[in-house]
Amino acid sequence: MEVRQTVEIRVRGTVQGVGFRPTVWRLACDEGLVGEVFNDGFGVLIRTTGNSGAISQFLTRLHSEAPPLSQIENVETQVLNLQDFEDFRIAESVSGENCTRVTPDAAVCAACRAEVLDPSERRYAYPFANCTHCGPRFSIVKEVPYDRINTTMADFPMCASCHREYLQPADRRFHAQPIACPVCGPTIWLEEECPTNFSLSPGFDKLKLVGHQALDSAIELLKNGAVVAIRGLGGFHLACDATNPEAVQRLRRRKHRYGKPFALMARDLNVIRRYCNLTPAEEDLLQSPEAPIVLLSANGTEKLPTGIAPGLSTVGFMLPYTPLHLLITRQIDRPLVMTSGNISDEPQVTRLDNARSGLREIADAMLMHDREIANRIDDSVVRIVAGRPSVMRRARGYAPSAVPLPGGFADAPDLLAFGGELKATFCVVKDGAAILSQHQGDLEDVSTFEDYQKNLQLYSKIYDHRPNLLVADMHPEYLSAKLAKQRAAAENLPLLEVQHHHAHIASCMLENGIALDASPVLGIAIDGLGFGDDGTIWGGEFLLADYRGYRRVGAFKPVPMVGGVQAIREPWRNTYAHLKAGIGWDKFVERFSTLALHRYLSTKPLPTINRMLETGLNVPLASSCGRLFDAVAAALGLCADQAIFEGQGAMELEALAESWRPSAADSPYDFAITGSELLYLDPLPMWKGLLEDLAEQAAVPRMAGRFHYGLAKGIREMVARIRATVTTDFSLDTVALSGGCFQNKILLEELVRLLEADGLRCLLHAKVPTNDGGLALGQAAIAAARHIESSNPAQVARASCAWFTGGTPVPQARH
Ligand SMILES: [Zn+2]
Ligand SMILES: [Zn+2]
């Protein structure tokens, strides 16, 4: 029976600054409801009166028709005394706007796209059109609340037309803070920093061009092979014609970037399809509001110059995600290189003056605009792995959206986790939400570390965050950990140091919504290096773990890293160390002296290295999966002398393995399992197989394939052995996979297939990187878990549970 009633509806999640209230208004009017909607400190509050049927219909539609950028986490409804309203209205916000929800930047929406391409619209060809469903957000925020005055759009007072749209609930620009048009908004211009040899059509003024002329001239330059710096959404890009090998080489030379692949932008899917056969999942991802760089197999009919992604079989493509990029690419029928505008490993340039000083040697011209970038944010990088998106670099479009904390974490303290060293991020926990920062870069670069510190301050301001607990990696030399120590001392805050691979596993558990008091999982963390709790270097770990602690039950067999970090730069060192530690150098020479590998290694300073190994000087033991990949890649002649970036050899090895599949006639290499207390995954049988193959001059792709599938098989056998021999008081049926080596698609997909065949549930990363970019989230989870436990005596009994070794309760945080 229909009853007229008044209800109060509380909506939590990402519901502010995303066009939520106008949607509520529209749906309420549609359903004939009266009442009001407004923002407050907890999200959106709705009070409405109407027939119960209409209200329930309204609630259903609120979920199914929520605006694209919103994320509803929770809706609570409560019946009030009957109230009368004249109509349905959008009321003033109540102070204390929710500041743990800053929306990520979103790619230009279909409506804005159509508008800038329609000559009859007033925003025709306007590079800064946006609305409540799209456009800049995080990249322009300086302070909260998210109002125009607190963004870099404060410099552009709205014109009368924009203001009308801003005030009209039925308009899709209702309360769109970055609203702009050609009359009142930002503008573009072109600067030519050095006299160029690239001819422009007659009529172009060579010095400073504005508006359409600037755009047309930049396009002309790009078509003629020039390098153009383009100020985008979260920073500068360097662009050139990706199909022009000379232009690509010129850009590499000037940028001093020799090994790493370049990202590309193409105007639409049809252009990308010439180079890559797209799957439906890849198409969806390319066209999503996050619009990331998607790593694709370069298996199309047309080929790109080898200078785009040297040695790799993948290429990173994105679609234009701002009207500016749309207006540039739509006139160019081929992909453009769109690589971050920086010098070698420094952070992407965001400011005009830094571009003029830093990029003038690289770019022939610069397409500038005057909307300042408050927060540098790189393009995100995503790959479809095991059938779903896996974020490898989490930045534009993804950060800083909050990662919901699973059950049991409601009392998490306000804390700050400092992350790792490479691909660094940090994590803020506040009001029960975890906010993982955007990708910062490698902190060993001085300017990246400065930028990381600047961003820590910025987040503290944006989120009004004053942590009462700090968390860092155990590694004594990580700059992030040193900074955390200094800050803990200066502000008299408790600091918790967390083991690297435990943080990887906790990050994976948290992302998968595993509750605080769930049974432990078997974590498999494989990566380059992390500091172990026994003082050695870890990087191939099997941990029984929950959020609070872990027990190391297995590892890759440790091998010396000859020369420490030198072994990362010169992969042949790992090959030598593996051969010497496994088969033994003398045996290798006896049996395989005719191999090119033997001749090659003999040219190296082996006596010096042997002395280092004898004296134990600068040869730390490492149970690292990354170094095993380096050793195998170098044995096959990939990046043997020098790796330009960590993991280069592994990426090239993966590219070669793509065409190989195991068969009855051709099986993967074997790995052995040795040890008793601590089980070791021992690669010795694999090396024997590989050397035999080398002696028989087997094809390199076959050896690369046998290694990949062999490693997956070896890890599966290790898991089976652990389940058979380690006694636990819980059922070990869940495996969490984390660490940078799981960026390897072949390894991850094969391992998941094998483990699922054994009846195991596999937890994988999706929106949080499996590499060190996810560490900060895991650190936050571990610190929160230990804090909750230490402040709840009822649960302390569990902490001393016999099988744990890794968990010490957190020092009591101050309130
Ligand atoms: Zn839009
Ligand atoms: Zn305007």
How far apart (Å, rounded) are the C-alpha atoms in residues 693 and 202? 63
- Ligand 1 centroid to Cα of residue 338, in Å, is 23
Residue 329 has pLDDT above 90, yes or no: yes
- Ligand 2 centroid to Cα of residue 332, in Å, is 29
pTM score of the predicted model? 0.92
Supply the pLDDT for residue 116.
97
Q: Which ligand is nearest to the CA of 322?
A: 1
The mean-pLDDT minimum among 450-459, 484-493, 723-732 falls in: 723-732
Supply the pLDDT for residue 326.
98
Supply the pLDDT for residue 99.
57
- Ligand 1 centroid to Cα of residue 162, in Å, is 14
Between CA 216 and CA 637, with CA 252 as vertex, the angle to 5 degrees is 145
- What is the pLDDT of the chain when averaged over all its residues? 92
- Ligand 1 centroid to Cα of residue 405, in Å, is 30
Supply the pLDDT for residue 147.
83
Q: Are 175 and 91 in contact, with CB atoms under 8 Å apart?
A: no
- Ligand 1 centroid to Cα of residue 129, in Å, is 7
- Ligand 2 centroid to Cα of residue 400, in Å, is 28
Average pLDDT over residues 245-258: 92
Residue 577 has pLDDT above 90, yes or no: yes
How far apart (Å, rounded) are the C-alpha atoms in residues 132 and 52? 30
The mean-pLDDT minimum among 410-414, 508-512, 535-539, 809-813 falls in: 809-813
Supply the pLDDT for residue 74.
87
Cα 31 to Cα 15, 45, 168, 169: the distances in Å are 21, 18, 20, 16
Average pLDDT over residues 525-537: 95
Supply the pLDDT for residue 800.
38
Q: Which ligand is nearest to the CA of 176?
A: 1
Supply the pLDDT for residue 209.
83
Residue 268 has pLDDT above 70, yes or no: yes
Q: Which of 318, 281, 273 is nearest to 298 (CA)?
A: 273
Neighbouring C-beta atoms of residue 674, cutoff 10 Å: 11
Q: Amino acid identity of 723? A: R
Neighbouring C-beta atoms of residue 361, cutoff 10 Å: 12
Supply the pLDDT for residue 202.
45
Residue 102 has pLDDT above 90, yes or no: no
- Ligand 2 centroid to Cα of residue 604, in Å, is 67
- Ligand 2 centroid to Cα of residue 164, in Å, is 9
- Ligand 1 centroid to Cα of residue 131, in Å, is 4
- Ligand 2 centroid to Cα of residue 686, in Å, is 66
Band (43; pLDDT cuts 50, 70, 90): confident
Band (197; pLDDT cuts 50, 70, 90): low
Q: Which ligand is nearest to the CA of 180?
A: 2
Residue 205 has pLDDT above 60, yes or no: no
- Ligand 1 centroid to Cα of residue 19, in Å, is 11
Average pLDDT over residues 625-650: 94
Supply the pLDDT for residue 809.
43
- Ligand 1 centroid to Cα of residue 107, in Å, is 8
- Ligand 2 centroid to Cα of residue 203, in Å, is 30
Give the DSSP H/E element, type plus range, for residue 27.
helix 20-30
Q: Which ligand is nearest to the CA of 156?
A: 2
Q: Are 530 and 514 in contact, with CB atoms under 8 Å apart?
A: no
Band (797; pLDDT cuts 50, 70, 90): very low
- Ligand 1 centroid to Cα of residue 69, in Å, is 11
Average pLDDT over residues 401-416: 93
